[in-house]
Amino acid sequence: MNKFEQLGLNESLLLAIKDLGFENPSEVQEKAIPLLLEKDTDIVALAQTGTGKTAAFGFPLIQKIDAENRDTQALILSPTRELCLQITNEIKLYSKYIKGLNTVAIYGGASITEQANQIRRGAQIIVATPGRMQDMINRNMVNIKNINYCVLDEADEMLNMGFYEDITAILSDTPKEKSTWLFSATMPQEVARIAKEFMRKPLEITVGHKNSGNENVSHEFYLVSARDRYAALKRLADANPDIFSVVFCRTKRDTQAVAEKLIEDGYSAAALHGDLSQAQRDGVMKSFRGRQIQMLVATDVAARGIDVDDVTHVINYQLPDEVETYTHRSGRTGRAGKSGTSLVIITKSELRKITQIERIIKMKFEEKPIPSGIEICQIQLFHLANRIKDVEVDHEIDAYLPAIEEVLKDIPKEELIKKMVSVEFNRFINYYKKSRDLASDGGTRRESGTIPTDGAVRFFINIGSRDNFDWMTLKDFLKETLDLGRDDVFKVDVKEGFSFFNTDASLAPKVMDVLNAFSLQGRKINVEISKNEGGSNSRRRDHNGRGGDKRSGGGFRGDRNSRDDRNSRDDRRSGGNDRKPRRDSKFEGRKSGDNERRGRRNEGDSSNFFEKAKRSRRS
Ligand code: ADP
Ligand code: MG
């Protein structure tokens, strides 16, 4: 008898489990499945991400559903549409040998009538996001008045995203006599509140420590100055040639900008955030799962709960606002018993957050220096050499060999190796030859007195009237990008190719951090403390004495809603259908042809560099 059989699961599930290749139940499955099969009870199960919670509720749920009866018997609520689709998929796999069992996904951003039709055809299990579910209840498109089971998956995140009201409204539409199963990675107060208000004597299962970090994940941070954030990201990627990672940014805007920059620089990257259409998001996820994308740049909300195995690195391009969110981020790696690394790119002003996180995850961070250009080139070189050694030769190539040999016949072997390696490798040499190594003491530069700590600070920024800004639109842009109040940006002075503005000194680190990581229509924004004094105190007025908020025509208009996924969650009530992405996401990968082109373009004498690299390796 295998372990799953011992838990009491029936034949059709066991067959499906075999197909899935699960050999042993995970801890949460071992604890939850027998309990849930045995009796109808409420349950609160706390377990880290990646511990197999979907099957922990999915298996017993499927076994308890009456597939002959076409009424809706179970509702699973989950925070995002990605997760909703993921759970639906899993449930379908688990129940593939059970005839007549239908599972339907309900989520925003897709046709509500189509979803209603699917439900009308009979759906014993509905997997839904709260917003869309509420919508369908209001329109009488679903009937959950007779369900027997309600699962709240990722309850902490649903509440985090402000779904409390939706959840309580939905629950009040379900019968009193039912079982509620709550699954969560953490147990903040709001989750406890839901448990208290809507559940009857729930049994509690805890796997591992509450709120603890995943044991398989190691945590590292890299201290840089704000303006080096992107360069640091690039180096971390280059120092890990087989990287398969999720890169977290704080805002949708940064997410888009960083992804675009990576693509421009030849990486197979893509953005995932709430401004993309459903189809775009699905496309991105498909490419990521299929490994055509190596670096998925995402907002917290968009990436929450996404289950992609074998993610090697989570990169915190910026730390989240809430330190608790860090646990969710790092849980994207180190799944299913594999090890993973969570990297944090950080400036000195954020250092104290590391201590806070350490307290939550009960693990220590290791501080590491950003790899030097030489180190990276060595890593890449050996990686390349190994790839050449291991590559399987496709004998289709044989037909072309005579022609190739003809071209290369006069080059000695030694030289030929050098040339072959250079095809791929020159782009690294050329980049790192030119770029200075990043100081790991980044933040100290700021402390050494370049940013005053009180009074007003005057900034220089490399955008101006040529970019269609006037003082009002620039001020609006700064306020929106920096998330500042009406009077926080003042003395805005727009010149043709650049501009000046003031903020209070306390805002200066944020101004430098946020704006220097920002690209405007593909151009990297550069902000510096202006040597040009001008920080006098008239905060109320911009020049010309105009203080109003009226915009003049033209100029860049920020999208107020784009700062935070929460403002434009995919499935808020209505409107989800017609949201247009602001920009098309491009996600061409890093094709080998790209490298070649780059290599050729940058061809040059690399012998110096190899010499240097050799010397440094010896020492
Ligand atoms: P959670 O919801 O706890 O974050 P998931 O349910 O998404 O975790 O499962 C994480 C991954 O582990 C999935 O790829 C899933 O298919 C896999 N998995 C779940 N249970 C098992 C098991 N018993 N054996 C092997 N892999 C499993
Ligand atoms: Mg889950």
Per-residue model confidence as pLDDT tens digits over 288-338: 988 999 999 999 888 776 778 788 999 999 998 887 788 888 888 887 667
Q: Looking at ligand 1, which atom is closest to the CA of residue 51?
A: 3
Q: Of 281, 327, 333, 291, which Cα lies nearest the Cα of 309?
A: 333
**Closest Cα to atom 17 of ligand 1:** 52
Same domain (yes/no): 87, 154: yes
The answer, yes or no, to whether any atom of ligand 1 lies below 6 A from the CB of 55, is: yes
- Domain of residue 229: give its range: 217-371+580-602
The answer, yes or no, to whether any atom of ligand 1 lies below 6 A from the CB of 280, is: no
Same domain (yes/no): 169, 229: no
Same domain (yes/no): 187, 279: no
Rounded to 5°, angle at Cα 325 from 154 and 335: 65
Give the CA count within 13 Å in the CB-facing half-sphere of 489.
Answer: 26
Q: Take residue 540 and report the two structure tokens written for it.
A: 């109320």
Ligand whose nearest atom lies closest to the CA of 45: 1
Amino acid 145: pLDDT = 95
Q: Say if residues 258 and 296 touch (Cβ distance below 8 Å).
A: no
Q: Take residue 529 and report the two structure tokens written for it.
A: 């403390």
Mean per-residue pLDDT, 114-137: 95
**Closest Cα to atom 19 of ligand 1:** 52
Q: Say if residues 27 and 51 touch (Cβ distance below 8 Å).
A: yes
Q: How many domains does the chain have?
A: 2
353: phi then psi, degrees, rounded to nearest 5: -60, -30
Q: What is the pLDDT of the chain when averaged over all its residues? A: 79
Q: CB-based contacts of 159: which residues, under 8 Å, 6+ apart?
A: 167, 188, 190, 191, 194
Mean per-residue pLDDT, 391-418: 87
The answer, yes or no, to whether any atom of ligand 1 lies below 6 A from the CB of 78, is: no
Same domain (yes/no): 134, 55: yes
Amino acid 536: pLDDT = 45
**Ligand 1 binding pocket mutation candidate from 26, 83, 156, 309 (most atoms within 8 A of CB):** 26
Q: Say if residues 489 and 501 touch (Cβ distance below 8 Å).
A: yes
* pLDDT, greater one: 197 or 590: 197
Q: Of 151, 172, 154, 181, which Cα lies nearest the Cα of 39?
A: 181
Q: Can you tell me whether residue 41 is helix, strand or coil? A: coil
Mean per-residue pLDDT, 39-44: 93
The answer, yes or no, to whether any atom of ligand 1 lies below 6 A from the CB of 22, is: yes
Tokens 């790092």 label which residue? 330
Same domain (yes/no): 38, 186: yes
Q: CB-based contacts of 18: which residues, under 8 Å, 6+ apart?
A: none
The answer, yes or no, to whether any atom of ligand 1 lies below 6 A from the CB of 79, is: no
Rounded to whole angstroms, the Cα distance separating 332 from 314 reads 7
Amino acid 613: pLDDT = 41
Predicted TM-score (pTM) of the model is 0.48
Q: CB-based contacts of 165: which residues, under 8 Å, 6+ apart?
A: none
Residue 328 lies in a domain: yes
Cα(72) to centroid(ligand 2), Å:
22
Residue 93 lies in a domain: yes
How buried is residue 445: exposed, middle or buried, by Cβ count under 10 Å (0-12/13-18/19+)?
middle
Q: Of 232, 224, 227, which Cα lies nearest the Cα of 459?
A: 227
Cα(305) to centroid(ligand 2), Å:
6
Residue 614 lies in a domain: no
CATH number at residue 247: 3.40.50.300
Q: Which of 186, 206, 226 is the last residue of a domain?
A: 206
**Closest Cα to atom 22 of ligand 1:** 22
Residue 125 lies in a domain: yes
* Beta pairing class for 499-504 and 519-520: unpaired
Q: Say if residues 153 and 91 touch (Cβ distance below 8 Å).
A: no
